[in-house]
Chain A
């Protein structure tokens, strides 16, 4: 029952997000039809009627929302009459591949790094990992991208600098995108594992002579999963934010790149389409995290 309630809440949240962002996207000063070359007023009027801009924002939203249920995301105002759903279908796969690989890489590196760092606390390994975490949080994504390109393209000549034409094109964008989430995951794992290693059951296990590796892997690690899973929401948000920078930086024709263009062109329906995609990803992530909690920690079943 709790799951159904959470799902309904998530849907309500999605509706609210769509409503608010539609009002914001539609309120852009200048309007979608103001371009460098002025359009004759009667044609402008005709276009406003065609795309619904003569109606009140609320009416306009509900006709848009009605369209969503029929799989109609509207048409792009800039790329004349191309359906938004086509643009998204074309650009989403590369963005998704990029984002999912970055998430996988961040988890695969960040989690073990955090464990190692907590295990060998105070050694050079820990210092190195803390240093990596701090730079992960403070290094601007575009500086990291620039360093990667300079190193691997300019000096070594190993990797192509931009676009996504083959598998090796993915390496640098994924690395750049994964760095910050990896740092967040490692930091969180380290902190919660260190906290866990101070608890009574660990002391008991140590007193009984259980080896440190066994304590960490069999006893403490399971309890650090809950705080680590809770960081998944911010991590996904981070990857989505990073995708704007990375797609711009490496000239990748993904959804975020189209979004930036759509904002410059005041292309309302394309803006809404991308917002919908990002909102669904964010809300689905937090829903999954919410549903995973009781499985990892039975105490949360009744709370």
Chain B
């Protein structure tokens, strides 16, 4: 068996040792595949209205039942995962990239730039996240683009703090001093020494950013300020279901459970990755 000491191989080994990690990884991949290939998984057109089959309970023909316009809820939940996942992945990636840049500039740019940039971030910590998202959404305009921009910026604030802390810590390390003493430029210092050390914490952040972004998008859509028709995400489906909840509980339970199950899978995956990258985990 390969016992090399490359940190990534070691992390992989720690990760693969626990069946829970593998199961959650498999489940996340399955969800992504469902979103990507939803066209082949659905049983009928998610927008097709059938006036003879409104608000049916789950049955063999319509696994999750039908909604108040006679649309197949199973197909709508599967299609809803596309928007939920798309928003979560794009915002997480954008937040990660913007936040890393912001945090690195703050940490390496000198005291004044650091103070100014960090004060600007304090804004995000003076308001509850959902309210901040709504305000940002007003700035960027409603619709898919506005929501993506708002959630990305919110994620940026979290990532920037983390990356700044990491870079400040790394800056104190001997190998950075040695590299500076050997005359390396700021950019090569960043690319060759800082970035490789930042990647593990960033991967861990990514696995926590994706589920929290799924949740924020769902919350925004649930209160009616998120995704608007013709698109629908799990949050919009839950909002539609909420209206007729007492008479037709399946309308809110299925989209809600879809979010819950996805959150669980990402939670365990994130936990596994965090442990795997922890240098003390193997012992």
Contact = CB atoms under 8 A, between A and B. Distances in A.
Interface of A: 13-14, 16-17, 20-21, 23-25, 27-29, 134-135, 137-143, 146-147, 149-150, 153-154, 161, 233, 237-238, 240-241, 244-245, 248-249, 259-260, 263-264, 271, 274-275, 278-279, 282-283, 286
B224 A143 contact: no
Contact of B225 (A143, A149, A263, A279): A263
A262 to B, nearest CB: 10
Contact of A146 (B136, B225, B242): B242
B256 A237 contact: no
Nearest to B266: A138
Given A24-B135, A278-B128, 20 more contacts: A16-B119, A16-B126, A21-B127, A138-B267, A140-B218, A140-B259, A140-B263, A143-B259, A146-B252, A146-B256, A237-B128, A241-B129, A244-B130, A245-B219, A260-B223, A264-B224, A275-B131, A278-B131, A279-B126, A282-B126
A240 B128 contact: yes
Main secondary structure of the interface of A (DSSP, over half): helix
Given A275-B135, A286-B125, A138 B245 contact: no
A248 B122 CA distance: 28
A-B pairs with lowest CB-CB distance, top 10: A143-B256, A240-B128, A138-B263, A241-B130, A24-B139, A241-B128, A17-B126, A24-B135, A146-B252, A248-B223
A240 B127 CA distance: 9
A249 B224 CA distance: 11
B123 interface: yes
Contacts of A248: 222-224
B263 A237 contact: no
Interface string B105-127: 00000000000000100110111
Contacts, number: 123
Contact of B242 (A135, A150, A249, A283): A249
Contact residue range for chain B? Answer: 35 or more
Contacts of A24: 135-136, 138-139
Contacts of B131: 240-241, 244, 259, 274-275, 278
Contact of B264 (A138, A238, A249, A283): A138
Contacts of A154: 246, 249
B245 A149 contact: yes
Interface string B209-227: 0010001001100111100
A149 B219 contact: no
17 contacts: A16-B122, A137-B263, A138-B260, A140-B238, A141-B219, A142-B238, A143-B256, A146-B256, A149-B246, A150-B249, A240-B131, A241-B131, A249-B242, A264-B225, A275-B135, A278-B127, A282-B126
A278 B267 CA distance: 29
A191 B222 CA distance: 33
A161 B246 CA distance: 9
Contacts of B224: 248, 260, 264
Contacts of B122: 13, 16
A150 B247 CA distance: 10
A26 to B, nearest CB: 9
Nearest to B268: A134
B197 interface: no
A239 to B, nearest CB: 8
A168 to B, nearest CB: 17
Contacts of B135: 21, 24-25, 271, 275
Interface string B254-270: 00110110011001000
A177 to B, nearest CB: 13
A241 B128 CA distance: 6
B253 interface: yes
Contact of A143 (B127, B130, B138, B253): B253
A260 B211 contact: no
A27 B138 contact: yes
Contacts of A263: 134, 138, 225
A112 to B, nearest CB: 24
B7 interface: no
A140 to B, nearest CB: 5
B128 A260 contact: no
Greatest chain B CB density within 10 A among A27, A154, A241 is at A241
A20 B253 contact: no
Contacts of B139: 23-24, 27
Contacts of A17: 123, 126-127
Contact of B127 (A137, A139, A140, A279): A279
B138 A142 contact: no
B26 interface: no
Contacts of A153: 246
A208 to B, nearest CB: 29
A273 B138 CA distance: 16
A272 to B, nearest CB: 10
Nearest to B263: A138
Given A143-B257, A245-B219, A137 B130 contact: no
A150 B250 CA distance: 11
